Amino acid sequence: MELQTLERIECPLLLARVGNTPLVPLQSPNQAVQILGKVEWFNPGGSVKDRAARAIFETAIAEGKLTHDKTLIDATSGNTGIAYAMIGAALGYRVELVMPANVSAERKKIARAYGATITLTDPLEGSDGAIIKVRELALDRARYYYADQYNNDANWRAHYETTGKEIWQQTRGRITHLVAGVGTSGTMMGAGRRLKENNPAVQLVEVQPADELQVIEGLKHMPSAIVPGIYDSNLADRQVAIDTDAAYRETHRAAREEGLFVGLSAGAAIAAARQVAREIEQGIIVVILPDGGDRYLSTALWS
């Protein structure tokens, strides 16, 4: 299905600014390997999730599934929820979010600032607990449109149409590796498919927490989690497991040595990109940096 642009449904100019984020050079441990960060906090809602949320809204509206008498509801670890809330405010739709109680205070406050209603779930159950709860609430179909980002094809299609296309154009087709964390998996599934179509030799590298005990907001340990329906375990060429301590260290290093104030999932992705750079002889690695560090100031990351 070809995605419509939000401009066709008279979306405010603000949302037309979603996408077309820059690539910035990062320090590489291998002089023959260039690492480029896709800086997704340049989106108006401050994260990569603006892309999927915009596509989910536009598709639901175009198909008549989301009307002004319904509330859009979904489970989120924070960034998609903020994007939903921003777009809902801009277009005049109510938004209700279900998220783990341990999501950073900043994310909760930003979503509420946009007018979203929030239901919190057991932090020990992580994003899976939020998914279970939202499925229960969404049974009231007269009240809710369940966006279901984990199983909504508009999620990965947004990255196929935008993120992957942008990366190919920005690197002039010279990209050799794409490194991205997987949560809903939409970024890797969409951008990865697009890049593989352009050049099957491009290597796709998934970043996941090392095990179910490693907590990296926004990422899923797929073997122990509710696996998103849009996730294809056969798409990526390899997976790199990162533990929380390594993600913390790389997040701090990026800020103090490169002036890049990134979120924890971005730190994990940079750690994986640097690992790949050490292992190959030459190449151009693009790493997705989902959001900035300002959404984590109240967490242990910056204690």
- Six-digit token pair at 201? 């030799």
CA distance 107 to 116: 11
- Exposed, middle or buried by CB within 10 Å (0-12, 13-18, 19+), for 101? middle
Residue 271 is predicted with a pLDDT of: 98
Q: How confident is the model over 72-124, as pLDDT tens digits?
A: 999 998 899 999 999 999 999 999 999 999 898 999 999 999 999 999 999 98
The predicted model gives 138-159 an average pLDDT of: 97
pLDDT exceeds cutoff 60 at 7: no
- Cβ distance 176 to 284 under 8 Å? yes
Residue 53 predicted with pLDDT over 50: yes
Q: What pLDDT, on the 0 to 100 scale, is given for residue 10?
A: 53
How many Å apart are CA 292 and CA 171, to the nearest integer?
Answer: 23
Longest C-alpha distance within the chain, in Å?
A: 58
pLDDT of residue 117: 97
Element (H, E) at 33: strand 33-39
List of residues 6+ apart from 137 with CB closer than 8 A = 73, 96, 98, 119, 144
Distance (Å, whole) CA 36 – CA 262: 14
Domain with CATH 3.40.50.1100 in the chain: 6-43+163-302, 50-146
DSSP string, 131-165: HHHHHHHTT-TTTEEE--TTT-HHHHHHIIIIIHH
Three-state SS at 230: coil
3-state SS, residue 267: helix
pLDDT in tens, 255-299: 999 999 999 999 999 999 999 999 999 999 999 999 999 999 998
d(CA 22, CA 42): 8
Distance CA 65, CA 108 (A): 26
Contact 262, 255 (CB under 8 A): yes
CA distance 198 to 205: 17
Per-residue pLDDT, 218: 87
Q: How do residues 207-244 score in pLDDT, each as one tens digit?
A: 999 998 898 988 999 999 999 999 999 999 999 999 99
Q: For the chain, how many residues are written?
A: 303
Confidence category of residue 8, pLDDT binned at 50, 70, 90: very low
Which numeric CATH code is attached to 6-43+163-302?
3.40.50.1100
Contact by Cβ (8 Å): 7, 16? yes
Give the active site residues: 49, 265
Q: Average model confidence (pLDDT) for the chain? A: 94
Cα separations in angstroms, 156 against 52, 72, 89, 162, 182:
7, 19, 23, 10, 12
| CB of 57 closer than 8 Å to CB of 95 | no
The pTM (predicted TM-score) of the whole model is: 0.93
List, for residues 118-140, the tens digit of each pLDDT value.
999 999 888 889 999 999 999 99
Contacts 24+ apart (CB under 8 A), 295-301: 295/46, 295/47, 295/78, 295/79, 295/104, 295/106, 295/107, 295/110, 295/263, 296/104, 296/106, 296/217, 296/263, 296/264, 297/104, 297/106, 298/104, 298/105, 298/106, 299/104, 299/264, 301/248, 301/251, 301/264
Q: What distance, in Å, lies between the first and last C-alpha atoms of the chain?
A: 46
Is the pLDDT reported for residue 11 higher than 60?
no
Q: Please say if the pLDDT value at position 1 is more than 50.
A: no
Does 50-146 carry CATH code 3.40.50.1100? yes
